[in-house]
Structure 1
């Protein structure tokens, strides 16, 4: 959707349409000294001059509704056009089912346009009918699995109307297609957090699921982040789940040096340190050693961060040691 319609020989300017002869167009007013003058096509200026006119007059008519469609065609991100169109839909009692079809066609042309998704959301709220939303968002995500606006709309529809039943199957499909799809992992957490719940059984089930995906791609930040999120709901914490710690150690012993694995082991060490639990495997010395390895070899780009984290752990270690000595005294 753009100004490409200028090449359409059948287009008739609004200024040349007899049924619009009663309207005086309103030109754009950028003031006496505009900073940047945008060069619009003649068609764009014609449509928006007449749009400003009907908006100023608050004309509620079928021709104004059609005019908004032409305005959307030229600029689908114009909030004022969409809002005025909604006013017209309500005033004219327009069939909202046909409006949904129209909006779907706009989404296909402009899938990352916030205004059109917002318009669709308002329509669904008016209709109280979300029956097409999983399909529409699914089609958009098939084209771009990381379309934020489609995900946002999908989550809204699912949560508002309780459409959770088949969502985990949808998420599984996306993750199986691309295990690095961070949006799909985020949606999985959304379903768990808002529907399935974090019973101990579900926590352990999600841990096992995630570990299997990490086995497949060990350097996958999305899966490691999801694992951290799941473990927030494990009363044993990051360091207390034997399945997770054994998995990490197996990877490490098999010479896996994924930055995400090493960072995870550092987190285990730090949590152990904060809990005051002694461990020959997860302690401050190992955490500092891994920070140095990341800074100098495995993640040089973020060397300053790992140096900072190393110093932070040293300070934490000293503070704990001082507290212990003061308690003894």
Structure 2
């Protein structure tokens, strides 16, 4: 539970029961009931701190010493919601400098980057101050340690959307993707920015498709970029199979012998779409037979971990074709 790197809990730490300034407070022991199933072996330091913490919460003491005690408690257990909530109550009651609190919690976050409570505490302080000026920088520091840190991305998206901080965000995302094209969090952020700024107009959609196809060329076996492409095509009113640029790109890869499961899955979607919207046009290369053959290839060779899904897809497409009285005799592209 403790953070060994904290300056609040080093070898010089003095127990609260041995501090003269706390002699007027009677510590409140934790109540585990008459017959606790499991007794946690807390350190003396931990038990001492939280005994005094419970005591000041009970008496609703809002003071500088109480504020300092919450800092020690947070260093021992930074995931404790009550500690942070009570700290906020003290800060508000004493009218403390919240910019100092931002500096403090920023240091804590960089030691506890995957702790929900510390990010939540910072968010509330930023809301109180209405000052997001340091949030992008802080999240970038956290993401430099782990580019896929969910808490950092969540906080960054909140700050950007709440305070309209979209400027230069696509450039930041592009840099992350240059460093790691498989960074699905960066792809998600790209979608977030476009969706909340320009939207997917015809021109923007075309630009994004070009960008994504370029990234796919760098690494064909990258699910993140393929997923982004599929997300883009939801916004194409013509449908996946009628986007000539994407269709030509996929067919070129296929004809060159590429059998990435992500490529094949997109082609299956194209076949399914033709069946749904165009009635399985016999002149199209996206036929019922081709869809079934690709599903079989995926189930038996290229995506065996999801074999049952592809068998189900083949059965679904065949059933749909029968309902629409579409013949399964069109030649396939193998």
The TM-score bracket by the shorter chain reads over 0.9
Structure number having the greater helix percentage: 1
Mapped partners of 2:66, 2:110: distance in 1 = 24
The yes-or-no answer on 1:299 pairing with 2:303 is yes
Corresponding residue for 2:272?
270
The yes-or-no answer on 1:321 pairing with 2:312 is no
CA contact (8 A) 1:108 1:140 kept: yes
Which region of structure 1 is more displaced relative to structure 2, 41-50 or 274-283? Answer: 274-283
Corresponding residue for 1:60?
62
Mapped partners of 2:47, 2:234: distance in 1 = 55
Shift, 1:239, TM fit: 1.0
Corresponding residue for 1:183?
185
The correspondence for 2:291, drawn from 287, 290, 307, is 287
Deviations 1:122-174 (A, max 9, x none): 01101111010000001101110010000000000000000001100000000
- Structure 2 gap ranges (5+): 327-334
Shift, 1:298, TM fit: 1.1
Corresponding residue for 2:332?
none
CA contact (8 A) 1:168 1:191 kept: yes
Q: Secondary structure of the residue that 1:196 maps to in structure 2?
A: coil
CA contact (8 A) 1:3 1:44 kept: no
Distance 1:212 1:104, change over 3 A: same
Deviations 1:188-210 (A, max 9, x none): 00001111211100000000000
The yes-or-no answer on 1:118 pairing with 2:120 is yes
The correspondence for 1:44, drawn from 43, 46, 58, is 46
Q: How many residues get paired?
A: 322
CA contact (8 A) 1:3 1:43 kept: no
Corresponding residue for 1:196?
198
CA contact (8 A) 2:9 2:75 kept: no
CA contact (8 A) 1:3 1:41 kept: no
CA contact (8 A) 2:132 2:159 kept: yes
The within-5 A match list for 1:99-178 is 99-178=101-180
Deviations 1:164-187 (A, max 9, x none): 011000000001100000000000
CA contact (8 A) 2:16 2:22 kept: yes
- Structure 1 gap ranges (5+): 323-329
Mapped partners of 1:270, 1:138: distance in 2 = 41
Mapped partners of 1:10, 1:186: distance in 2 = 46
CA contact (8 A) 2:205 2:232 kept: yes
CA contact (8 A) 2:9 2:72 kept: no
Shift, 1:8, TM fit: 3.1
CA contact (8 A) 1:100 1:120 kept: yes
Corresponding residue for 1:327?
none
Distance 1:175 1:68, change over 3 A: same
Corresponding residue for 1:35?
37
Shift, 1:280, TM fit: 3.2
The yes-or-no answer on 1:2 pairing with 2:2 is yes
